[in-house]
Amino acid sequence: MIASLDSILSKTRGDRWIWLIVILLSMISLLAVYSSTGTLAFKRGVGAESILMKHLAMIIGGIGLMYISHKIDYRYYAGISKLLMIATIPLLLYTLVFGNHVNDASRWIPIPGTGLSFQTSDLAKLALITFLARTLSRKQENIKDVKQSFIPIMSSVCVVFILIALANLSTALMLFGVSVLLLIIGRISIKQIAVVCLAGAVLLAGVVFLGPRRKTYISRIHTYMHPEKATADKSFQSDHAKIAIASGGIFGKGPGNSTERNYLPDSFSDEIYAIIVEEYGLIGGLTLMGIYLFLLYRCIKIVTKAPKAFGALLACGLSFSLTIQAFANMAVAVGLGPVTGVPLPLVSMGGTSILFTSIAFGIILSVSRDNDEPKKVVVGEITEAP
C-alpha cells in the first residue's frame, strides 16, 4: 500500500499542498453531494448511489485531466490560449442562440450522443485568463501602447463579458473582476484600467436593464436589497439557506441529517455550502473556508516564485478566479449577496465545472512544477543543473 502510494506521488509534481487540497475538496464533495441528492434521486426515480457514482466518475475524470495538464509545460498554454479564444467566441454565441434554456437562461449546449451538456462559460473563463496572461506578458515593452496592447486586451475582456453576462451575470462579473486584477498586476496604466471599468459598467447597465434576463436580475437585486418586501416565492431559496445555516449551530446535525436539503432547489450545487454548514456546523463551514484561503496562500507563493511573467500572471489569474468564485458562493449562502448560479469549486455537483476547475488546478501545478525543477545553466559547452 505504502509502496503504491509512493509510486503515485513520484509521478506527480508541483506543490504537494495543492494536491492535498484537491483530495480534501473531492472528499468533502462526495459526502455533501451524497447527502444532498436524495430529493433529486427521488424525482429521477433512481437511487442516490447512482447519482453519487456519476459524480465520482466526474471527480476521477477531473483528477485525470488535472494530472495531464500539470505534466504539460505551462509555456505551451500561451499558444493554446489563442486557439481557445478563437473557439470561445463562436461557442458563446451559439449557446445564446441554440443552447438549452433552463430558468430563462441559455448556458449549456448538449453534447451529441452522450446525454450530457457543456457550459461554455467554463471554457470562456479559462480561455480569457490564459489569453490575458499571454498578452500582458508579451507586450510588457509597449504595454501602454493603445493600438498594439490596450485595444486587443479591452476588446477581448468586453466581448467575453457581454456574451457571458446575457445568460450568466454573476460569472461574467467575477471574470471581469479577475481580468481587472490581471490588468493591474500586468502594469496597465490607471487611465486605461478606468476606461475598461467604465466600458464594463456601461455593458453591465445594458444587460441589467435591457438584456433578455433583465426581469430576473432586477428581481434578485430587489429581493436582496428589500427582503421584507419580497414575496415568499422570490425569497424561498435564500430563506431556506439561512434556515439551514442557522440550524447547524456550532457542531452541526451530523452527516446525512440535513432537513433543508428537501426544500432547497439547488442543495447539491449552488446551495451546497448551506447543507455543509447545516450538517457540520460552524466548524465545518470555517474549515472549508480555511481550505480555500490556504489554497490562495499556496498559489500566491507559486506566483512569487515564478521566474517568468506569463507563469506568474497565469497562476495568479486562475487562483483568483477559483477563490473569488468559492467565496462568492459562500457569501450567497449566508445572505451576503443576491442569489446567483455560481457553484462551489470542486465541491458542487456539476460536469463541466469540475472538469475545467481541475484543468485550472493542473495549470497552476504546471507553473509550480516549473518553479521546483532545477534550471539548467550553460557553461561553455557543458550543461549543468545548479
- pLDDT the model gives residue 386: 34
CB 263 within 8 A of CB 232: no
Phi-psi region for residue 89, left (φ > 0), alpha (ψ -120 to 50) or beta? Answer: alpha
- pLDDT the model gives residue 98: 81
* CA dist., res. 261 & res. 273, Å (int): 11
For residue 249, the number of C-alpha atoms closer than 13 Å in the C-beta half-sphere is: 5
- pLDDT the model gives residue 65: 94
> Contacts by 261-264 with C-beta closer than 8 Å and gap 24+?
261/35, 261/36, 261/38, 261/39, 262/38, 262/39, 264/237, 264/240
Q: Please give the model's pTM, rounded to 2 decimal places.
A: 0.89
Calculate mean pLDDT across residues 266-271: 83
- pLDDT the model gives residue 373: 66
User: pLDDT, tens digit, for every residue of 292-304?
Assistant: 999 999 999 999 9
At 58, phi and psi to the nearest 5? -65, -40
Closest CA to 317 of 36, 170, 127: 127
- pLDDT the model gives residue 114: 65
- pLDDT the model gives residue 375: 55
- pLDDT the model gives residue 103: 61
* CA dist., res. 11 & res. 5, Å (int): 10
CB 157 within 8 A of CB 179: yes
Q: What is the DSSP letter of 13?
A: -
Q: What is the DSSP letter of 229?
A: G
- pLDDT the model gives residue 14: 78
The answer, yes or no, to whether residue 141 has pLDDT greater than 90, is: no
Closest CA to 359 of 22, 59, 71, 69: 69
| Residue 68 confidence class, pLDDT cut points 50, 70, 90 | very high
* CA dist., res. 85 & res. 83, Å (int): 5
- pLDDT the model gives residue 105: 66
| Residue 379 confidence class, pLDDT cut points 50, 70, 90 | very low
* CA dist., res. 358 & res. 351, Å (int): 11
User: pLDDT, tens digit, for every residue of 159-210?
Assistant: 999 999 888 888 999 999 999 999 888 888 888 889 889 999 999 999 888 8
| Residue 383 confidence class, pLDDT cut points 50, 70, 90 | very low
The answer, yes or no, to whether residue 134 has pLDDT greater than 50, is: yes
Calculate mean pLDDT across residues 203-224: 85
CB 219 within 8 A of CB 340: no
- pLDDT the model gives residue 8: 53
The answer, yes or no, to whether residue 382 has pLDDT greater than 50, is: no
The answer, yes or no, to whether residue 364 has pLDDT greater than 50, is: yes
Average model confidence (pLDDT) across the chain: 84
* CA dist., res. 242 & res. 254, Å (int): 18
At 378, phi and psi to the nearest 5? -95, 120
